[in-house]
Structure 1
Amino acid sequence: MGEGFILNRPRGKDDVEYLLYHSIPEDGAPVSSIFSGKHDGKMWIAFLAVYFFWGTTYLAIRIALESFPPFAMVSLRFLLSGSILLIAAMAVRARLPRGRELVQTGLNGILILGLGNSCLTIAELWIPSGLAALIITTSPLWMVGLDALLPGGDRLRRAALAGILVGGVGSVVLVAPEARAATVSGGREWAAFLLLQLANFAWSLGSIRQRRMPAGSHPIVNGAVQQLAAGLAAAPLALFEGGRPVHWDLKGTGAILYLVFFGSIVGYSAYIYAMDKLPVALVSTYTYINPIVALFLGWLVYREPFGGWQAAGMLVIFLGVALVKRFSTAPTAAEVD
């Protein structure tokens, strides 16, 4: 799910389709007003930025973990990025959420970014970053399944249910060889797998909650509130976090700053802009490209393994996600007949 951000529910659109593709709201100021000028080249640059930057965040997390404990890293990252986005929003006098909207957006941020990214970060202590990225690719399966189970959700079609099962099998295929070996990390591969499923659950639940909220504040503002809430929630955990202390070295600090600016600010802003200018289905293909970028960079920098089992698991997951995205909504009367 990229960085795990989710926008508010648009009126008059199908919920599940937009949950999967993260579309933008119709209410409020137009997203394009954040950017000066209207040039066709910008939308393609933004599109490629989402492809690249969100795919690099998995490697950046692994690099940052060499200098920062997990909760300290999550807290510092989102406090910085959320503050910068909020200051930018206030500078242009964007509407800020208040009252119940503020509380609910903050709670969703704790779920999506606080719990979700914390689980991902801890998992990367135990398994390669590329493998973590591939397991996270199953998040659309969780999103559609949870939406169907919650009140007011859309009923699953059989093909979509089959896609969820196929994607689940693919994720098990991915982690099984690592778990069987269990020699380097003391058998923590299955623990990492379960943590990443918890991350997918948290991202999906928070995303569904946010989508069902009436659109009020600008998406950038909601992103700022979510990030600040996640950073504040992780801060107490960072204070009591055991293990190694924080090392303010150039490598780790650079990785944190990269996550702040290119993952949480540039990547998110590029995503919003691309969603405003390009077809939703096209932008949603980042789901498939991000893990490929993560796999390549993990191999390039850390020589993370990628063999036949991983390739097979990746293809099975992609097939499951494709089935869910294609057949996610309940059939119409004509389709039933």
Structure 2
Amino acid sequence: MKKSKNTLLVVLAFFSIYVIWGSTYLLNKIAVTELPPFMLAAVRFITAGLLIFVICKFVGVSIAITRKQLLNTVIAGFLFLSFGNGVVVWALKYVDTGLAALEISAQPLVVLILMLIFQGKRIQLMSMVGVFLGIVGIYLLVSQKQILNQENSILGMVMILFCMISWGYGSLFVGKADLPKNYLVNTGYQMFTGGIMLVGFSLAFSEPWSFPIEWSPKVIYTMLLLIVFGSIIAFTSFNYLLRQVSPEKVATSTYVNPIIALLLGWYFLNEQITLQSIIAAAVLLTGVYFINTKKKLTLFSRFGKVSSKTDNDNQ
């Protein structure tokens, strides 16, 4: 019975990081049309963090953590949420949701390069193919005329690249950091501290703040969806899956999120899906597949034929 329960939780968690995270591009795009980006992200994460602490109180989970764990959650909160997510929300003012999601689909490429730089992990042949395809895909994506001619779109996509680096380094950091063992507590502290830092971002950029009673009903509903589903459920699911299944299985969300974001942006916001975007998506996602695969190419087997074998060092 316990195994069946865990299987159901894993399935639901994958649904969260596939569909819910894929939809957050649309939700953020809608909200950022009325609210300043850093204020939007700050309210979202602080509220989500506080709600998680309330949930912990009701279910009897202690939120007490060590000083070292607090410091590590602050660092993770900055890398994942304050910079890694907050700046993406800012960039959505200038970049279509589908294009932003497609660029972020190259995240495994960034992680691979960071692992080479900081951990000395060698890049296998399959991953090299993936890196090449990823670079080609990104070029096809950003070289489109409608992007080049759109004001600040290139700046937005460059800033998203820096967000990917921040998120990638955060992924390496949490793999070794001393963090709260409970998934909800870990998420709550990252959300709350990340949101507090986003308040600093907002004040530094002199963003005008407003109360929810001043927001349109559309933005209020969007914010509620972002807080409950995008933050609490999806991010907790992400932390849960990182400890329940292999990292490359969690990384499969990279294939699904851009497709969800593209379709939702096209359907609800009338965003254009060009042939070049479709080609870029195919090349990018193929590159991500090569990076995530556990197989290593060998040019010749002892029988003189091309073969492949499992290689656990690929990631």
Instruction: Give the TM-score of the pair, scaled to structure 2.
Output: 0.84
From 7, 23, 26, the counterpart of 1:59: 26
Question: What does 1:1-337 align with in structure 2 at a 5 Å threshold?
Answer: 38=5, 41-91=8-58, 92-94=60-62, 96-150=64-118, 152-178=119-145, 181-182=148-149, 185-186=150-151, 188-214=152-178, 216-242=180-206, 246=210, 247-272=214-239, 281-326=248-293
Number of aligned pairs?
296
Range with bigger deviation, 57-66 or 264-273: 264-273
Secondary structure at the residue paired with 1:38?
Answer: helix
Letter aligned with residue 194 of structure 2: A
Contact 2:130 2:286 in 1 (8 A): yes
Question: 1:153: how far off?
Answer: 4.3
Cα distance in 1 between the residues matched to 2:52 and 2:293? 34
Identity %: 26
Deviation at 1:53, TM superposition (A): 0.8
Question: What letter corresponds to residue 222 of structure 1 in structure 2?
Answer: N
Query: What TM-score, normalized by structure 1, do the two folds share?
Result: 0.78
Q: Which runs of 5+ in 1 are unaligned?
A: 1-31
- The match for 2:305 is none
Q: What is the DSSP-based 3-state SS (H/G/I as helix, E as strand, rest coil) of the residue aligned with 1:287?
A: helix
Measured after TM superposition, the shift of residue 218 of structure 1 is 1.7
- What is the aligned-residue RMSD (CA, Å)? 3.0
Unaligned runs of 5+ in 2: 299-309
Could you tell which deviates more after superposition, 282-291 or 57-66? 282-291
Deviation at 1:282, TM superposition (A): 4.6
1:99 Cα shift?
Answer: 1.2
- Deviation readout 1:258-315 (Å, 9 max, x if unpaired): 1100101122344455667667655542211111111100000111010210001101
The CA distance in 2 between the partners of 1:218 and 1:63, in whole Å, is 33
Cα pair distance change 1:72/1:211, threshold 3 Å: same
Equivalent residues of 2:72, 2:178 under 8 A apart: no
The answer to which of 71-80 and 48-57 deviates more is 48-57
Are the equivalent residues in 1 in contact too, given 2:19–2:257 (CA < 8 A)? Answer: yes
1:170 is displaced (CA, Å) by 0.5
